[in-house]
Structure 1
Amino acid sequence: MTKKGLATAKELESVFAVAKGDYHALFMILLYTGQRLVDCVKLEWQNIDFEDGTLSVVPKKTARRSGKPVYIPLLPQLRQELESKLKAHAFILPELVSLYGRDIGSALSKEIKAVFKTAGCETLVKGQNGCEQF
């Protein structure tokens, strides 16, 4: 990772090479939407408009305050990833929704960290206060 904790292109390639199944889809959604983890994990098929080429989501952070949806263009790489997924559940990533719900993301964060480690990525960076952070 760079000094600011941002992944390099090489690190992203490594992550996508080792991420399988729902984790691959999760990383694609995170990368191509810029949304927070909770919003990506809990994304539903009803939020995807393939015809219009958009993804809409009411971010959890602002849901109670404004309730306004955010519209994100469905870029070709993400569209391809989503079109390859089975639409057997309301959620795009039902297994990860369940994992996230067990302990509000802690178990999922550990699994994501394991993918990063398998890809050879550094998972700790020095924060502004000098402490190491994931």
Structure 2
Amino acid sequence: MSGGARVCSGYSNVREELVARFKCPRKTDGVDEVYCCGFSDLKYCCNEAGNYFPYPHGYMWSLSIGAMVGLGVAALLLLIFIFSAFVMCCLYFYNKPQGLDSGLKLQSLATSPLQEGKSNS
């Protein structure tokens, strides 16, 4: 069947019911919906020629469900990553040392005990 047809041929829908052929536009369709569009198990009138897919309608639903599951998993992983990064940043700033301590005691040269010992000898 071509997408530019004005008559939709009969078909068997998802519930295995036989749908008789019909002419586009039907009473329930708009005046500009003169082309037969849809799937091999779901046909309808539309206003754009070539909008016909030879695959069953159920086939497209399985693709949609798979895509939704994939997008859901990706979104969940993204949220986990963002939450983990936020927690790690908070822990870093909470536990960050306030000042650097090298462990060495710094003293003035004038009062250094080593200098006093050398000047006395």
- TM-score, normalized by length of structure 2? 0.19
Query: Relative contact order: is structure 1 or structure 2 higher (C-alpha 8 Å, sep ≥ 6)?
Result: 1
The structure in which a higher percent of residues are helix is 1
Q: TM-score, normalised by structure 1?
A: 0.17
